[in-house]
Amino acid sequence: MAIFTSGGAVGQISGRVGGLVYSHNRGGPYIRNGTIPTLVTSDEAINAKARMTAQSQRWDNLTDTQRLSWKTWAASNPVVNRLGKQVIVGANAAFVGINTRCNLAGQALIDDPPIADPPLALASITLTLDIGAGNFQIAYTATPTPADVHVWVRLCVLNNPAVNYVENRLRFLGVSAPGVASPFDIEALTEARFGTLAVGQKVVARVHTFDRTTGLLSAPIQADGLIITT
DSSP line for 170-187: -EEEEEPPTT--S-EE-H
Specify the higher pLDDT residue, 107 or 8.
Answer: 107
Parallel/antiparallel/unpaired status of strands 86-87 and 20-25:
unpaired
How many domains does the chain divide into?
A: 3
Query: Largest Cα–Cα distance of the chain, in whole Å?
Result: 59
Predicted confidence (pLDDT) per residue in 71-87, tens digit: 999 999 998 876 678 88
DSSP string, 84-110: S-EEPPPHHHHHHHHHHHHHHTT----
Pairing type for strands 124-129 and 86-87 reads unpaired
**How does pLDDT run across 207-217, given as a tens digit for each residue?**
999 999 999 99
115 within domain boundaries = no
Cβ atoms of 155 and 187 closer than 8 Å: no
Model pTM score: 0.80
Residue 5: is its pLDDT beyond 60? no
Residue 172: inside a domain: yes
What is the DSSP code (8-state) at residue 11?
S
Q: How far apart are CA 80 and CA 229, in angstroms?
A: 38
* pLDDT above 50 (res 168): yes
Dihedral-angle region of residue 180 (phi above 0 means left; psi in -120 to 50 means alpha; beta otherwise): beta
- Domain-embedded: residue 119: no
Q: 6 in a domain, yes or no?
A: yes
Q: Are residues 151 and 206 in the same domain?
A: yes
DSSP string, 134-166: S-EEEEEES-SPPTTEEEEEEEEEES-TT----
Residue 112 inside a domain? The answer is: no
193 and 219 both lie in a single domain: yes
Q: Please, are residues 186 and 134 in contact by the beta-carbon 8 Å criterion? A: no
The reported pLDDT for the residue numbered 36 is: 66
Asked if residue 52 belongs to a domain, the reply is yes
CA–CA distance, 109 with 225 (Å, rounded to integer): 35
**109 occurs within a structural domain:** no
Reduced to 3 states, what is the DSSP secondary structure of residue 18? coil
Residue 148, domain CATH? 2.60.40.10
For residues 24 and 84, membership in a common domain is answered with: no
Would 206 be classed as within a structural domain? Answer: yes
Statement to judge: residues 99 and 130 lie in one domain: no
Q: What is the DSSP letter of 12?
A: -
Is the model's pLDDT at 20 over the cut of 90? no
Residues 160 and 99 in one domain: no
Mean pLDDT of the chain: 88
Q: Are residue 137 and residue 204 in the same domain, yes or no?
A: yes
> Domain span at residue 12?
2-33
Select from 104, 132, 157 the last residue of a domain: 104
CB 182 within 8 A of CB 217: no
Interatomic CA distance for residues 167 and 26, integer angstroms: 12
In this structure, of 24-28, 94-98, 176-180, the range with the lowest mean pLDDT score is 24-28
pLDDT at residue 98 greater than cutoff 90: yes
Same domain for 137 and 72, yes or no, is: no
Q: Do 173 and 83 fall within a single domain?
A: no
